[in-house]
């Protein structure tokens, strides 16, 4: 185990990344635990409100992220300084992304339905960091051989093709699979060739006069949401707590034959 850790983590310079990821996940879990205790009125924890102003934990999170990020850039991938700044960055990122929904909405939506976006972003960031630790390179460069990497034309075409697929996935309303597709090209291909999500820019532009495609896209989205909405909500409730007001869990009726 020690030799494997040295060969795959320490020697390639991935230890700061691993420490940042561990600090990030632990900070998020601890923060959610503390906020849930504050919400329930248990324990010694209270909101920080100097002078009546509620200081959200995104504020120290931004400071720690800036300090840790600049420190990590200047300290390289080896040594104790790189490890320390990686932990600082991970703590700051955990505090910031825990209130990602607040930044997006510019409102205190922490315990609302919109606040669930923070959990989704944290899970996505964790998955992307794990892929990087696993050796995946952006836009599939890791799939090229040494000779192909030396061939600038092959490298340029590969990067361009993968970038186009990722962009198409974004246009089809699939941002999560698009981001993962940056590291795993097969995911980008899968997202790009399948039907777009209803309401996405691709669907509005390309399905405008294609009633059958629009109906199929709506039906597929309905089936997908019906299958995964319940497990996703239960997972989010387990990690982050239930929002103040949960909407009805009954999914909408499936679209008609023409999808109109």
Read off the pLDDT of each residue in 52-81 and give the average, rounded to a whole number: 90
Separation CA 89–CA 102 (nearest Å): 20
What is the reported pLDDT for 248? 44
Q: Read off the pLDDT band of 136 (50, 70, 90).
A: confident
- Prediction pTM value: 0.76
Return mean pLDDT, the chain.
84
Indicate the pLDDT class of residue 150, thresholds 50, 70 and 90.
Answer: low
Quote the distance between the C-alpha of residue 21 and its chain's center.
Answer: 13
**pLDDT digit string (tens) for 216-227?**
999 988 898 888
Residue 69, CB-side half-sphere exposure with 13 Å CA sphere: 8
Could you report the per-residue pLDDT of 70-100, keeping only the tens digit for each? 999 888 778 899 999 999 999 999 999 999 9
Rounded CA separation 36/24 (Å): 18
Give residue 260's pLDDT band: very low, low, confident or very high (50, 70, 90). very low
Helices 175-183 and 116-133 sit at what angle, rounded to 10 degrees?
A: 10
Residue with tokens 């008609």: 256
What does the pLDDT read at residue 9?
78
b/e string for 180-200 if b means 16 or more Cβ within 10 A? bbbbbbebbbebbeebbbbeb
Per residue in 168-211, pLDDT (tens digit) is 998 999 988 888 888 888 888 988 999 999 988 998 888 888 88
Mind giving me the DSSP string for 4-69?
HHIIIIITTT-HHHHHHHHHHHHHHHHHHHHHHHHHHT-SS-----GGG----THHHHHHHHHHHH
Q: Which of 45-59, 115-129, 167-181 has the lowest mean pLDDT?
A: 45-59
Q: What is the pLDDT of residue 126?
A: 92
Give residues with Cβ within 8 angstroms of 228, minimum separation 6: none
Give residue 142's pLDDT band: very low, low, confident or very high (50, 70, 90).
low
Q: Which positions ≥6 away from 177 have C-beta within 8 Å?
A: 169, 187, 188, 190, 191
Higher pLDDT: 52 or 98? It is 98
User: Which distant-in-sequence residues (6+ apart) come within 8 Å of 221 by Cβ?
Assistant: 197, 198
Q: Can you tell me the distance from the alpha carbon of 185 to that of 171, in angstroms, rounded to the nearest whole number? A: 16
């Amino acid at each position: 185990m020690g030799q494997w850790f040295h060969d795959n983590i320490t020697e390639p310079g991935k230890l700061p990344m691993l420490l940042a990821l561990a600090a990030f996940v632990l900070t998020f879990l601890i923060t959610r635990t503390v906020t849930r205790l504050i919400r329930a009125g248990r324990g010694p924890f209270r909101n920080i409100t100097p002078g009546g102003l509620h200081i959200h934990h995104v504020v120290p999170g931004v400071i720690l992220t800036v300090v840790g990020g600049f420190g990590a850039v200047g300290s390289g991938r080896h040594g104790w300084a790189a490890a320390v700044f990686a932990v600082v960055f991970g703590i700051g990122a955990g505090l910031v992304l825990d209130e990602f929904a607040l930044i997006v909405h510019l409102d205190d939506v922490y315990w609302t339905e919109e606040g669930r976006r923070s959990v989704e972003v944290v899970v996505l960031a964790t998955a992307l960091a794990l892929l990087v630790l696993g050796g995946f390179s952006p836009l599939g460069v890791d799939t090229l051989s040494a000779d192909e990497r030396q061939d600038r034309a092959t490298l340029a075409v590969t990067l361009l093709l993968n970038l186009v697929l990722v962009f198409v996935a974004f246009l089809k309303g699939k941002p999560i699979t698009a981001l993962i597709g940056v590291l795993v090209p097969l995911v980008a291909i899968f997202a790009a060739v399948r039907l777009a999500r209803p309401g996405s820019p691709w669907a509005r532009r390309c399905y405008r006069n294609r009633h059958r495609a629009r109906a199929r896209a709506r039906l597929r989205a309905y089936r997908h949401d019906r299958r995964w909405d319940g497990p996703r909500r239960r997972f989010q409730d387990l990690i982050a707590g239930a929002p103040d007001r949960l909407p009805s869990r009954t999914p909408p009726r499936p679209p008609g034959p023409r999808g109109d």
